Structure 1
Amino acid sequence: MPQQIKIFLTGGNGMVGKNILEYNTNPNITILAPNRKEINLEDYNAVFNYIKQQKPDFIIHAAGLVGGIQDNIARPVDFLIKNLDIGRNLIMAAKSNRVKNFINLSSSCMYPREAKNPLQEDLILKGELEPTNEGYALAKIVTTRLCEYINKEDDYFQYKTVIPCNLYGKYDKFSPEHSHMVPAVIKKIDEAKLNGNSTITIWGNGEARREFMYAKDLADFIFYAVSNFTAMPQNINVGLGYDFTINHYYKTIAKVIGFEGQFEHDLSKPVGMYQKLIDDTKLKAFGWTAKTDLEQGLQLTYSYYKTEVKHD
């Protein structure tokens, strides 16, 4: 790797992108993170010309159209086409400009819905996808395979895919329409405490298991990967390698917030997949582990919510 590294980061305004930008304290690393007005990632020529002009050493692709279950169900065409176009444009424009290093950020939704946990990297395309976000998953599978094909055709290129588990943390979305489980529960329990509610309802029996990693840890992994890129596997899961029940998340968040009421379960509500846990064998072999435990990460996230989100 050259001493001075220039990185072109897409998605710099999202949770992952903002954490990457904030985490960079290395004076030898310059990160370019143009916004949508500066570059339209759905326009191949715009992407090609930007890369040609800037000549980055690395591209980190963290941009995309993301949303919750209802959004994915309502707009499968957008979730497939927009993510496919953005990923294809970036990868092919990078290849045409002979950019050697490319980190493609994907998603564990690429794995088959019936796959055995923990989820190993070689399970991609080994079974049917979860139908509620199939369009998004298909786009991620295509870009993952495209990176593999490029490397297979020409070993000059190192185009590799990072598959994170679920994330939470600073710069997360806390609105009910767009948030994932952890920020949604933080908001729910904080409001219950504020309103003096004595009980909180959990959908289902709360025994379904989820793996959530603090987003700053993913940023830490990205810089570790940049420094050790040749040794990084083609496709690599990045997560904790262990999970907790929904009940455990609720209880830990309640402890952090100081809510002392009771929980009740609504068994008529859906709970989704019972488990989606990544296999961290390759991650451990690569020499990286997450640094933030659940309670510490939740305290930092709640602090961010109180100071930056709650009074917006």
Structure 2
Amino acid sequence: MKILLTGANGMVGKNILELAKQHKHHFLTPSSSELNLLDNASVQKFLTEHQPEMIIHAAGIVGGIQANMAQPVKFLVDNMQMGLNILNSAKTFAIKRFLNLSSSCMYPRDAQNPLSETLILKGELEPTNEGYALAKIAATRLCEYINQEQPELLYKTIIPCNLFGHHDKFSEHNSHMIPAVIKKIITAKEDSTAEIEIWGDGEARREFMYAGDLAEFIFYAIEHFDRMPQNMNVGLGTDYTINEYYQRIAEVVGYKGAFKHDLSKPVGMKQKLIDDSKLKAFGWSHKTSLTSGIEKTIEFYLSEKNNDQFTN
């Protein structure tokens, strides 16, 4: 198929393209200047000229707690606008297959874990990333509505757990936890820093999947798209505490210092573990262990350490 991949320059997009060499599909990977998802006219022009048979929507404004709290307007408005533009335009052009990438951030903050797909809009959202979550919920619901009105249009959503891996952002200010901690611990080891700070008590639980595994799932989904559920979690079905992630990364890096907790800092949801029942029934499971994924990610970080993306 001819597949339009939005967000081809992001972590998920780059991991998909790394694996694309093993498959026969032709990927359209426009830059933001070639396809401005915030401009509906630009979206319609691109679809008119290139006529993809499927769209994988992986573009978005992403970041950790600090970034979400600092720019809630951008996380809501830009992500909402991109989702609405690409979905409405795909519907207008009768593109039959659309895979929307959402996030487990859109589940209610106090929902019982593991988080099943039926919990969307069943409770208050986590305030620290509410804007991002609202945008993801809107795109997910729009996929459902389009399919309800036109069943021949298979517009489906996957809900990945937290991700890490190759092509991640390694920054303490705008990245997710694992890459930020990798950079922090490697820097502490290099500088012989005796102590590292952890936000909160470190007992919040998170589920992180290696991004290369998500890319493998994407190709599995493409081949079995007709029988894939409307909304489906994609993750491990296993989680760890923040403290455990710090400890595992420190072990791999060889950092021997201590950890201290800053209880004044926000920690987000206490737990965010997806229910992988539908995923198992769909016939797919992840391959990369946490330790192996951390090792591969550290190797990538060290090999790319002098690139601009790590100094910004």
| Structure 1 stretch displaced more, 216-225 or 267-276 | 267-276
Where does residue 195 of structure 1 map in the other structure?
191
Alignment pair present for 1:67 and 2:63: yes
1:239-291 per-position Cα deviation (integer Å, ceiling 9, x unaligned): 10010111211111111111123333344444332111111000000011111
**Counterpart amino acid of 1:108?**
S
Taking only aligned residues, the RMSD between alpha carbons, in angstroms, comes to 1.5
Where does residue 178 of structure 2 map in the other structure?
182
Question: Equivalents in 2 of 1:247, 1:241: separation in Å?
Answer: 19
1:183-202 per-position Cα deviation (integer Å, ceiling 9, x unaligned): 11111111111112233333
Question: Equivalents in 2 of 1:59, 1:135: separation in Å?
Answer: 24
Q: Shift in Å at residue 84 of structure 1?
A: 1.4
Unaligned runs of 5+ in 1: none
**Counterpart amino acid of 1:298?**
I
Alpha-carbon distance change, 269 to 89 in structure 1, aligned in 2, over 3 angstroms: closer
**Counterpart amino acid of 2:15?**
N
Q: Shift in Å at residue 298 of structure 1?
A: 0.3
Alpha-carbon distance change, 229 to 260 in structure 1, aligned in 2, over 3 angstroms: same
CA contact (8 A) 2:65 2:268 kept: no
Unaligned runs of 5+ in 2: none
Where does residue 142 of structure 1 map in the other structure?
138
Where does residue 223 of structure 1 map in the other structure?
219
Alignment pair present for 1:283 and 2:259: no
Select 1:165's aligned residue among 157, 161, 171: 161
Alignment pair present for 1:132 and 2:135: no
Q: How many residues align?
A: 308
Q: Shift in Å at residue 135 of structure 1?
A: 1.7
Q: Shift in Å at residue 165 of structure 1?
A: 0.5
Select 1:236's aligned residue among 216, 232, 235: 232
Question: Equivalents in 2 of 1:149, 1:73: separation in Å?
Answer: 30
Where does residue 288 of structure 2 map in the other structure?
292
Question: Equivalents in 2 of 1:72, 1:261: separation in Å?
Answer: 30
Alpha-carbon distance change, 266 to 84 in structure 1, aligned in 2, over 3 angstroms: closer
Give me the identity figure in percent.
Answer: 61
1:95-131 per-position Cα deviation (integer Å, ceiling 9, x unaligned): 1111100000011111111111111101001111112
Q: Shift in Å at residue 309 of structure 1?
A: 2.3
| Structure 1 stretch displaced more, 40-49 or 299-308 | 40-49
Q: Shift in Å at residue 310 of structure 1?
A: 4.7
**Counterpart amino acid of 2:191?**
N
Question: Equivalents in 1 of 2:187, 2:2: separation in Å?
Answer: 43
Select 1:47's aligned residue among 19, 43, 55: 43
Q: TM (normalized to structure 2)? A: 0.94
Question: Equivalents in 2 of 1:71, 1:9: separation in Å?
Answer: 25
CA contact (8 A) 2:66 2:174 kept: no
Alignment pair present for 1:102 and 2:98: yes
1:25-55 per-position Cα deviation (integer Å, ceiling 9, x unaligned): 2352111110011111111122112112212
Aligned to 1:118, what secondary structure does the other structure show?
Answer: coil
Alpha-carbon distance change, 57 to 77 in structure 1, aligned in 2, over 3 angstroms: same
Alignment pair present for 1:85 and 2:94: no
Aligned to 2:232, what secondary structure does the other structure show?
Answer: strand
Where does residue 34 of structure 1 map in the other structure?
30
**Counterpart amino acid of 1:137?**
A
Aligned to 1:90, what secondary structure does the other structure show?
Answer: helix
Where does residue 57 of structure 1 map in the other structure?
53
Select 1:265's aligned residue among 255, 261, 264: 261
Where does residue 122 of structure 1 map in the other structure?
118
